[in-house]
Amino acid sequence: MEATVTTANSEGKTWGGGTEPMGADYGKLMMWFFIVSDALTFSGFLAAYGFSRFKFIETWPLADEVFTHFPFMHGVSAPMYYVAFMTFILIFSSVTMVLAVDAGHQMKKDKVTIYLFLTIIGGIIFVGSQAWEWKNFIKGEYGAIETKGGSLLQFVDKEGHRVALADFAATLPEDREQLTRNKGKWFMDEAAISTYSVAEVQAGFKAHPDLLIRTETITAEKKKTILSRKDSELRLTQASLVIEGANLTHNEYGSKLFADFFFFITGFHGFHVFSGIIINIIIFFNVLVGTYEKRGSYEMVEKVGLYWHFVDLVWVFVFTFFYLV
């Protein structure tokens, strides 16, 4: 029986190491493996979001009514403007990263430093903007009522414009105390109490006959259903909880699942951007001290650039799913 012998090719041993598949070194190949696996993770999250949205399409919040804030423009409705600004900043940072990688190929240390610094600044602005957006989403703007059946009731005037609870809620001589574990039954507690009680909202609504209730149900014209005054008064008798802002259990804008997905997916993406900023800062200081000049290659900048471009591309899909569709 003859033994099978594996011979080496003209460039070296087949399994002897040093061979670069498709011309990519080990580090770059591993970065591509990570990007593909992470892309599958985000795809699963966005697919789950899509299924949930279509299942509860009639009560899903309208993005133009949720993301209306803009810094230093309090009270001015600017739907999607700031989100568009955030998106522009992140895409621009991707451009500066491309320029940094190109400068690295040309071994131009000064240009790599400048463009990498601009990329870091763009990432910081994006993460800060996302934190500001979270703050406004959690805080809320108008407030709403949740019924005993879990439906959401919002308040509008006769023209259909939203009215905040603070604009009509009455002030009643009642003492409200937050339930804590040491005072509750079976050590139960509750979230922070709302600014107004259900009774105060009901009394204020009764005192303002020009107010109407708008339900979370969306019509074929992509507008929420506004009830008559008589139906509004009837629905308000079913009120059980005052909702201000959004969290993982309540959402003044509409379906609770929207808030859950928003916090999870945008938070997961924000973590990726924050991680990218930290890595870019490390690479930036390595460039300053001349680490890659000594190696004779700025390939590490290119590897980090692959990750940064992936983060930017993911945001395009998140932006499309949450804000545009």
Return the amino acid letter for 308: W
Same domain assignment for residues 29 and 121: yes
The answer on 134 and 43 residing in a single domain is: yes
The domain tally of the chain equals: 2
Q: Are residues 310 and 180 in the same domain?
A: no
Q: Which of 195, 216, 244 is the last residue of a domain?
A: 244
48, 65: one domain: yes
**Residue of 153, 152, 144, 174 lying closest to 242 (CA atoms):** 144
Q: Are residues 152 and 226 in the same domain?
A: yes
Last residue of a domain, one of 181, 213, 244: 244
Provide the pLDDT for residue 268.
96
Q: Could you tell me the CATH number of the domain that includes residue 96? A: 1.20.120.80
pLDDT of residue 194: 80
- What is the reported pLDDT for 192? 65
For residue 55, tell me if it sits in a domain. Answer: yes
Please check whether residues 101 and 188 belong to one and the same domain: no
In the chain, which stretches have pLDDT less than 70?
A: 1-24, 75, 174-192
**Same-domain check for residues 262 and 125:** yes
Q: Has residue 221 been placed in a domain?
A: yes
- Rounded to whole angstroms, the Cα distance separating 27 from 49 reads 33
Q: What is the pLDDT at residue 233?
A: 93
Residue ranges in 162-298 assigned as alpha helix (H): 198-207, 229-236, 256-261, 267-288, 291-295
Q: What's this model's pTM, rounded to 2 decimal places? A: 0.84
Mean pLDDT of the chain: 87
Q: What single-letter amino acid sits at 215?
A: T
Helix ranges restricted to H, 237-325: 256-261, 267-288, 291-295, 299-319
Residues 232 and 277 in one domain: no
The answer on 86 and 178 residing in a single domain is no
Give the domain-ending residue among 211, 244, 277.
244
150 lies in which domain range? 144-244
Helix, strand or coil, per DSSP, at residue 290: coil
